[in-house]
């Protein structure tokens, strides 16, 4: 659409309305295309973040297992039976997990 002739007084009202509707449609299509492109970019960014967070959680899980084994072996070194030492550590980890889950539920209820 050229903008060299901006005087539209001689055009019929139907053509003016048609032109406005056409321009509005073009603007809406352009806006939808822009929103789609932004959404795709955001999804890709979130996907990358999820991958990195997953690797981080996996490494933290391995660290927690190793820490638990170290604690249990320390209790074994203090002359506790191995089954009791590992049981005590497992109960401790379970208690901490329950505390975190209850805190998460409290936050979810508050929100």
What sign does the CA torsion over 77, 78, 83, 88 have?
negative
**Residue 5: inside a domain:** no
pLDDT in tens, the chain (111 residues): 455 555 656 667 777 788 888 889 989 989 998 988 888 888 888 888 888 999 999 999 999 999 999 999 999 999 999 999 999 999 999 999 999 999 988 888 887
**Residue 3: inside a domain:** no
**Residue 94: inside a domain:** yes
Domain that holds residue 83: 13-110
- Cβ burial of 93 (10 Å; 0-12, 13-18, 19+) is middle
């Amino acid at each position: 659409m050229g903008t060299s002739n901006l005087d539209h007084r001689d055009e019929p009202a139907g053509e003016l309305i048609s032109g406005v509707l056409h321009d509005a449609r073009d603007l809406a299509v352009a806006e939808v295309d822009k929103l789609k492109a932004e959404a795709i970019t955001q999804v890709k960014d979130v996907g990358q973040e999820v991958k990195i967070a997953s690797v981080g959680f996996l490494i933290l899980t391995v660290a927690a297992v190793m820490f638990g084994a170290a604690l249990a072996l320390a209790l074994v070194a203090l002359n506790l039976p191995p089954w009791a030492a590992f049981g005590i550590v497992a109960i401790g980890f379970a208690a901490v997990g329950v505390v975190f889950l209850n805190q998460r539920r409290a936050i979810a209820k508050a929100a």
